């Protein structure tokens, strides 16, 4: 059975996603202040091969070319983030109007070409001066963040109609304040619980601020979601371990937002978050979002691990399980996105779901000016097929955004993983549309079909048709 873009309906939103620190560069130009990622990349052995995002894709100077490239690729919606320290160099206080001007130019050019801007307010790049005051562990961040949100909405809300308050709060609090593998490199349970609670408060407060300033906007926030299964599905210890990991990775932030409170009954250590809660915080955690952004890449298999602190659980890497996997060592498992959508759809408080990130990193080879990334084409086809399956079963999924437009700086992994639909030569800044980008373009133009049954790469005709336009 074949299907096309039309099978999703006219109102389904298609697009691509990026993030400021990963593509913009210009890290200290035009009044921009330092962020925790500007600082973190300077630390030894934190980033693959010592890579950093000072220049990255140089989107700050190439934004017009890259937006024009999206137009050429038939991409109708563009999700990007605003760099907090480009707006407030010190995190709060004096506004940097050169930063405001930059995002005005990005937004206006998108609209000029008929591309709808979808703005993420916080995608992990906290201003350095705020981190010196404790960052997300300091409850004062509720005011700092509120000021940033209000400034952005006042300056851009007349044209931006889709807002996402945060990107994956579990990742930036867990990796940045518990494990220390992301900026700002802090570790420990107390750092994590304080930052997590304040982030959860901010995601709701950010929504309230946007709604108070522009009631006509569509407001959401995004969560990472990996489908979790026990490594040994008949082993009671693995089943318990998998449930704990699922609670932390997939339930920690969505449930308090929906008024369900923190899921501490499944992971009792979460009861300690109460020491950071003030009266009425349980109510302040709640906000009625217009949509939830779901970001899925893989599934994880979990085993009981008695020596692991707090959780007594461990994720078994895909490379150890004889399954196909990506450069990130993530299993290629398309049903994961179907299961994620079904799970979110089971929450009655979620009105609409948009897949705000889905994609894969594979090793790409530039040959004769082309990149024939068959595995990425296959990955996208199979995952989009799972999204349609969920939609046809009544799941309230209303959009799909590929991560990502350009090969970029992938946090601690540096420039090694290649997620882009477009190849970037970081020495020359030359862009080359990969076959996956050409395929996605033709799919969006509604000139190619996807088979629900096939696991092989098909639709090369659309790629060939695109060659003359590269």
Whether 63 contacts 109, CB under 8 Å: yes
Catalytic residues: 168, 357
- 88: Cβ–Cβ under 8 A, 6 or more apart, which residues? 33, 94, 95, 96, 127, 147, 148, 151
CA–CA dist 192, 219 (Å, integer): 26
Given a contact cutoff of 8 angstroms between Cβ atoms, the answer to whether 391 and 353 are in contact is no
Please measure the distance between the N-terminal and C-terminal CA atoms of the chain and give it in whole angstroms: 30
DSSP H/E element including 294:
strand 291-295
Beta bridge partners of 388: none
The answer to whether residues 263 and 247 touch, using CB atoms and an 8 Å cutoff, is yes
With both helix axes pointing from N to C terminus, report the angle between 141-156 and 189-213 in degrees, rounded to the nearest 10. Answer: 30
Strand partners, 78: 16, 117
Measured between alpha carbons, how far is 432 from 7 in angstroms, rounded to an integer? 30
List all residues 6 or more positions away from 159 whose beta carbon is below 8 Å from its beta carbon. 107, 108, 111, 117
Q: For CA atoms 273, 278, 279, 282, give the dihedral sign.
A: negative
Instruction: Evaluate whether 430 touches 419 at the Cβ level (below 8 Å).
Output: no
Closest CA to 162 of 263, 10, 17, 276: 17
Cβ 374 vs Cβ 367: under 8 Å: no
Cα distances from 367 to residues 339, 373, 380, 433, in angstroms, run 37, 11, 22, 12
Q: Which of 34, 30, 21, 24 is nearest to 96 (CA)?
A: 30
What does the block give as tokens for 378? 């296959």
């Amino acid at each position: 059975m074949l299907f096309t873009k039309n099978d999703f309906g006219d109102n389904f939103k298609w697009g691509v996603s990026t993030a400021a620190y990963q593509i913009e560069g210009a890290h200290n130009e035009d009044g921009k202040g330092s962020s925790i990622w500007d600082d973190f990349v300077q630390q030894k052995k934190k980033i693959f091969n010592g890579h950093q995002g000072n220049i990255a894709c140089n989107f700050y100077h190439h934004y017009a070319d890259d937006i024009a490239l999206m137009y050429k690729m038939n991409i109708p919606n563009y999700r990007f983030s605003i760099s907090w320290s480009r707006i407030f160099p010190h995190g709060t206080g004096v506004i940097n109007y050169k930063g405001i001007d930059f995002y005005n130019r990005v937004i206006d050019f998108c609209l000029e070409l008929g591309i709808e801007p979808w703005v993420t307010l916080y995608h992990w790049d906290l201003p350095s001066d705020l981190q010196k005051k404790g960052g997300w562990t300091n409850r004062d961040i509720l005011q700092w963040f509120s000021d940033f949100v209000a400034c952005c909405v006042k300056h851009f809300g007349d044209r931006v109609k889709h807002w996402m308050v945060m990107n994956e709060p579990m990742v930036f609090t867990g990796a940045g304040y518990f494990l220390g593998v992301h900026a700002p490199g802090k570790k420990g349970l107390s750092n994590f619980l304080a930052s997590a609670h304040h982030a959860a408060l901010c995601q709701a407060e950010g929504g309230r601020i946007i709604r108070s300033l522009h009631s006509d906007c569509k407001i959401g926030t995004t969560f990472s979601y990996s489908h979790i299964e026990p490594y040994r599905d008949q082993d009671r210890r693995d089943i318990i371990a998998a449930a704990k990991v699922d609670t932390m990775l997939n339930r920690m932030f969505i449930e308090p937002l929906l008024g369900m409170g923190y899921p501490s009954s499944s992971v009792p250590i979460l009861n300690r978050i109460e020491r950071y809660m003030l009266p009425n915080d349980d109510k302040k955690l709640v906000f009625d979002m217009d949509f939830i952004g779901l970001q899925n890449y893989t599934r994880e298999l979990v085993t009981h691990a008695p020596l692991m602190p707090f959780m007594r659980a461990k994720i078994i890497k895909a490379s150890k399980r004889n399954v196909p996997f990506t450069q990130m060592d993530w299993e290629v498992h398309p049903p994961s996105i179907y299961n994620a959508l079904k799970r979110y759809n089971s929450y009655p408080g979620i009105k609409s779901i948009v897949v705000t990130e889905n994609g894969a990193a594979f090793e790409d080879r530039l040959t004769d000016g082309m990149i024939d990334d068959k595995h990425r084409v296959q990955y996208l086809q199979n995952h989009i097929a799972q999204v349609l399956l969920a939609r046809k079963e009544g799941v309230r999924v209303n959009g799909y955004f590929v991560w990502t437009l350009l090969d970029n700086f992938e946090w601690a992994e540096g420039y090694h993983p290649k997620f882009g639909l477009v190849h970037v030569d970081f020495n020359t800044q030359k862009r080359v549309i990969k076959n996956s980008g050409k395929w996605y373009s033709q799919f969006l133009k509604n000139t190619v079909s996807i088979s629900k049954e096939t696991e092989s790469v098909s639709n090369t005709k659309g790629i060939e048709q695109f060659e003359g336009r590269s």
